[in-house]
Amino acid sequence: MVNYYRTATFLTSASKSSQFPEHDMLEVGFAGRSNAGKSSAINTLCDQKSLARISKTPGRTQLINFFPFNEQCCLVDLPGYGYAKVPEAMRREWQNLMEAYLGERKQLRGLVVIMDIRHPLKDYDLQMLQWCAEMKTPAHIVLTKADKLKKGAASKQLLGVRKALKDEGIEATVQMFSSLKKSGVEELQNILNVWFELT
């Protein structure tokens, strides 16, 4: 299978909507709690060590980062949310930035919502998924750090998330993922390839 994502490069960071790049590329956003492993998942997807910056301190990604590839597609790393130690004013700024991107970006094709498999579907995650439902934006959940659980426990979590989504009436696809073991990469690529019309 062709890995289109290996050619992803950093384009720009935006701290406000006026800094979003003006281009016709299709975009897919990556959202998730500050310590859910979002940067690691992007790096693993793209088979690159430091495309998205990994921080030891959750809540460091305060900007929206754009990573184009294949001349017509762009991965978009959104600020991590839900980290308690961030000052309220900064949290509001982030929220405004997220709303500006998610609400106004016409070329957004889907949202990948990253969750730690041990702590899925927190309040912010559900808000993000409900937003996707309202905006009719496809959502795909990636349950990271699957290597932290035994196989049976991980499968149980996956089934539990699927059931919870059904109970909430939220439509989203779900998968397990491990950056450490590089498992789940092809499954994620398959989803993205459809959204990016690369198939």
The answer to whether 72 and 63 have CB atoms below 8 angstroms apart is no
Domain boundaries of the chain, sorted by first residue = 4-195
Residue spans of alpha helices (H) in the chain: 38-45, 88-104, 123-135, 151-168, 185-195
pTM of the model: 0.94
The reported pLDDT for the residue numbered 98 is 87
Residue environment code for 98-130, b if the CB has 16+ CB neighbours within 10 A, otherwise e: bebbbeebeebbbbbbbbbbeebbeebbbebbe
The reported pLDDT for the residue numbered 83 is 65
The three-state secondary structure class of 150 is coil
The answer to whether 140 and 171 have CB atoms below 8 angstroms apart is no
Residues 6 or more apart in contact with residue 128 via CB below 8 angstroms: 31, 81, 111, 113, 139
The reported pLDDT for the residue numbered 188 is 98
The reported pLDDT for the residue numbered 60 is 55
The reported pLDDT for the residue numbered 54 is 67
DSSP, res 35: T
The reported pLDDT for the residue numbered 163 is 97
- DSSP per position, 79-111: PPB--TTS-HHHHHHHHHHHHHHHHH-TTEEEE
For domain 4-195, give the CATH number: 3.40.50.300
The answer to whether 37 and 114 have CB atoms below 8 angstroms apart is yes
User: pLDDT per position in the chain (199 positions), as tens?
Assistant: 788 999 999 999 998 899 999 999 999 999 999 889 999 999 999 999 999 986 665 555 578 999 999 999 999 999 888 765 677 887 788 888 888 999 999 999 999 999 999 999 999 899 999 999 988 999 999 999 999 999 999 999 999 999 999 999 999 999 999 999 999 999 999 999 999 999 7
The answer to whether 55 and 44 have CB atoms below 8 angstroms apart is no
